[in-house]
Structure 1
Amino acid sequence: MLLQTLYRCFFLILFITLGLSPIFGNSIDTLVKTSESFQMVASHATKAVVSISTVTTVQRNPYSSFYGFNYYNPYTNQEREGLGSGVIATKHGHILTNHHVIEKADKITVTLSDGREFDATLVGTDKKTDIAVLQIKAKNLPIIHFADSDQLSVGEWAIAIGNPFGLAGTVTVGIVSATGRSGVLDVDNYADFIQTDAAINPGNSGGALLNIHGKLIGINTAIFSQSGGYMGIGFAVPINMAKRVMEDIVSYGRVKRGMLGVTIKPVTDTLVRDLRLPTKEGAYVLEVKPGSSADVAGIKPGDLIIELGGKKVADYLALRTRISELKLNESSYCVVIRNNKKKRLDFTLFSDYESLAGTMDPLGLSVTKLDTNHRRDFNIPKHISGLLITEVQKGSIATHYRLVPGQVITKINNRDIRSLDDYRRIVESSNMFLFTVYEQGYEFNLVVRR
């Protein structure tokens, strides 16, 4: 009896083993093919991912005392080094990276995967999306083809390539954890982030996030971390947004953004209850600027914008992102809920920013007087007065001195500048100036020579 039982167990195990072997074999074949896909992506894409090193001069107060000896400070100027990554985006040597990687850098060096080094030129930068564009003079550069990031699906493969901690060509693999993450890093940021669990660490910023086909889906930007290291939550700027920013920067030296012309109020539970709104999703229109794109389109106060350009508007941050994706004079449409009914409204995006641009001065600058809208849009406090830089001519003297739109010239040669006439008279009558410039909470002096 015992012998029969043993025979039965033996044949049962044999049957199960033989029956499952094709399944195990298929599983292994699938894993091998997936591994080969990763290898193929890595071998091709790493060639187009570069290492970026920066040197920034940090100025100290030269008149502070040092160990009790007044007017002596050997650390007046210090050099700070930084590391990051970048992606070769065009055959002309344009490189996509992050704004925070090269911010205020005095020298930018790009190292290719084959070991060649180049001094990089900053073409332009956009803090609102944390995207910057560099350019190097090199031939036969490998480039990465772009995917359509609007077609991403949660759960698909995501492959990150960069230079974490200076370890060039590091490849990590994960999935797309979520899309459309707005306001997760900075409420003033325009990017609609891709979330991924592919390992992203310091030094990965500006590197590539790719799909299983080796096409670029995003530019790695930041991580969510309580320790400073990888915790499974990373964010990348979608390539569609990065491409739109790059095209403007290459063409104009800055990003030209349109304005819909509405004042938006976040949709809260209280607002839904008080106004009996049909949904909490969307952006509630509080005010419409006369003569704006929204006004011409027929958008009215009280409308709830739930869709723009065929994309869902989840909240007011998503609306701002959707608008920032459009180019000036581009036609689109939005869907609003008015009186509990959906209504489609077509519009063409234009902007009063165009009125800011005047004729270029000899330095390659276009400036204008500050007003309330400028202070709001560029976050300039009330106590700062002067002229706002609205445009910088590509290749101009101003570009050489890293003057950019959004900065405020408060003084020239230690004199307050309050009118365009004062500014033009000084700029046109001399060949060297001492500019006092305000930017993002700081004022600094800059000697500019024609």
Structure 2
Amino acid sequence: MKQTIRLVAVALFAGAVTLGGYKYFVEPDQEIALTTSQEGVNNFIPTNFSNSPVSSTNADFTEAAEKTVHAVVHVKNTTISKQPTNMTEYFNGGGKPRAVVGAGSGVIISPDGYIVTNNHVIANASELEVTLNNNKIYKAKLIGTDPKTDIALIKVVADEDLPFIPFGDSNNVKLGEWVLAVGNPFNLNSTVTAGIISAKARDLNQFDSNPQSFIQTDAAVNRGNSGGALVNVRGELVGINTAITSETGSYVGYSFAVPSNNARKVIEDIMEFGNVQRAILGINGGTLNTNVARDLGIDETQGVYIASVEKGSGADKSGLKQGDVIKKMDGLSVSKFSDLSGYLGSKRPNDVVDVTILRNGREKHIPVTLVKLETFEIENLGLEVKNANSALLKQRGVDNGVIVSKALSKDMARYNLEGIIITKINDEVVEDIDDAKRIINNRDFNAPIKMTFVNQRGELNSFIFR
């Protein structure tokens, strides 16, 4: 019995020594906090010990809303249309004048009353009226417009400096970043909705005659929001709300905004030149993916593949070549063609951009001086033309002409006219796009149009459009 007690005592002593050693040598030091409990009070206090910023879900939108809501205005567009009163007026035109009123939003961008809005908000206006958030009403004057980007600039004259929204850098917006849409949906003035950046450089155009590059967001935008502000949480303008995608015509999930860098460039061009100065690299190409890469025999699945380089362009002079893959522009990633077109939309002719390409598996940086895009849309032919440089004319064996840059409709696209050189219209010599404008505008509108051109193989042809 004594032996048993002795063994138990030894075992207890050994266990105590082992446990004490573990506590002393193995377990880390811990601070001990004494707390007192109080009935009905939650004792759990959430704490973040990391150095990362507070979660964006806790973002406070009140400051941004207060900064911007007073600088977003209601734009009323009055147009005069004629309502036919009989069959003769219906077929021959005419009728009783009738005022049609449309509405949208606008953003004050300077204290002296310059306002940016959408072209479709003020299109065909005979009278423009702007209502501020303080209910003051002003007559507005149209300064200029650019249908391609759907941007317009109007101006009001006020007795005092007006609140305005400063431009932010739309190149710096990030996926998942909080934004506010400020506007006047359904004529409800001063409405603010919140969402995140869902996508960048989004192209909604199924037919690529006019590549687009929108900021996509899930902030609610409806009829009347067009021309309003998309702002970040600092109250900076990062986009002009322009469009929604919807089967019903109302907001169902996504809205789209013209990036602020592009809108600002258009506005500055209108103020300085009276029109938009578009800049191009001088390449033809498209977005890469697995199927395209396989057909081309390359490994890259992201970027813009250069299919051809225009003679005499900035790309040609700088040394860009067919087969190069554009990966970056001025350090900004280019994964698809709308990334490229969107960035160039914020640039001017003679700007120099640093183009990062892959050539034969090796990365190269090539500075390219952008050239001016001069085009004219011949709506009656469904074609866009631009001036042809002397090198291209010589290559095709002609002395004059304008080149077809793209078809404006799917019907014309099937004829594969892109790249042909129009040398005559209605048997009049065409030297440049000014000649094309003059001939088209001065023609007999009841007569057909004859187009004489040289195709991609140097063959002379004629089409008659009735």
Q: Is this a same-fold pair by TM over 0.5?
A: yes
Match of 1:359 in 2: none
CA contact (8 A) 1:111 1:117 kept: yes
The SS at the match of 2:134 is coil
| Residue deviations 1:302-352 (CA, integer Å, cap 9, x gap) | 111122222222222322222222111111111121112212111111236
Match of 1:19 in 2: 43
Kindly provide the amino acid, as one letter, of the partner of residue 46 in structure 1: V
Match of 1:243 in 2: 264
Query: Among 44, 51, 54, which residue is 2:77 paired with?
Result: 54
CA contact (8 A) 2:175 2:200 kept: yes
Match of 1:99 in 2: 119
C-alpha separation in 2, matches of 1:74 and 1:289: 48
Query: Among 243, 258, 264, which residue is 1:222 paired with?
Result: 243
The SS at the match of 2:174 is coil
CA contact (8 A) 1:97 1:205 kept: yes
CA contact (8 A) 2:205 2:211 kept: no
Kindly provide the amino acid, as one letter, of the partner of residue 279 in structure 1: E
Structure whose alpha-carbon radius of gyration is higher: 2
Query: Among 395, 410, 428, which residue is 2:441 paired with?
Result: 410
C-alpha separation in 2, matches of 1:305 and 1:157: 30
CA contact (8 A) 2:201 2:338 kept: no
In the TM superposition, residue 207 of structure 1 has moved relative to its aligned partner by 0.5
Unaligned runs of 5+ in 1: 1-11, 24-29, 357-366, 392-404, 419-450
Query: Which stretch shifts more, 237-246 or 316-325?
Result: 316-325
Describe the shift of the 1:85–1:389 C-alpha distance in structure 2 as closer, same or farther (beyond 3 A): farther
C-alpha separation in 2, matches of 1:72 and 1:245: 39
The SS at the match of 2:403 is helix
The SS at the match of 2:322 is coil
C-alpha separation in 1, matches of 2:147 and 2:92: 37
The SS at the match of 2:293 is helix
CA contact (8 A) 2:401 2:431 kept: no
Pair 1:279 & 2:310 matched: no
C-alpha separation in 2, matches of 1:352 and 1:223: 29
Match of 2:103 in 1: 83
Percent identity at matched positions?
A: 35
Kindly provide the amino acid, as one letter, of the partner of residue 113 in structure 1: N
CA contact (8 A) 1:163 1:207 kept: yes
In the TM superposition, residue 190 of structure 1 has moved relative to its aligned partner by 4.9
RMSD, matched Cα: 4.1
Unaligned runs of 5+ in 2: 1-35, 48-53, 377-385, 389-399, 450-466
**TM-score w.r.t. length of structure 1:** 0.71
CA contact (8 A) 2:309 2:321 kept: yes
What are the residue-to-residue correspondences of 1:340-379 with 2, within 5 Å?
A: 340-351=361-372, 353=374, 372-373=402-403, 376=406
The SS at the match of 1:271 is helix
C-alpha separation in 1, matches of 2:244 and 2:96: 34
Q: How many residues align?
A: 374
In the TM superposition, residue 162 of structure 1 has moved relative to its aligned partner by 0.5
In the TM superposition, residue 274 of structure 1 has moved relative to its aligned partner by 3.2
C-alpha separation in 1, matches of 2:311 and 2:94: 58
CA contact (8 A) 2:37 2:43 kept: no
**TM-score w.r.t. length of structure 2:** 0.69
Query: Among 61, 71, 76, which residue is 1:38 paired with?
Result: 61
The SS at the match of 2:441 is strand
In the TM superposition, residue 107 of structure 1 has moved relative to its aligned partner by 1.7
The SS at the match of 2:120 is helix
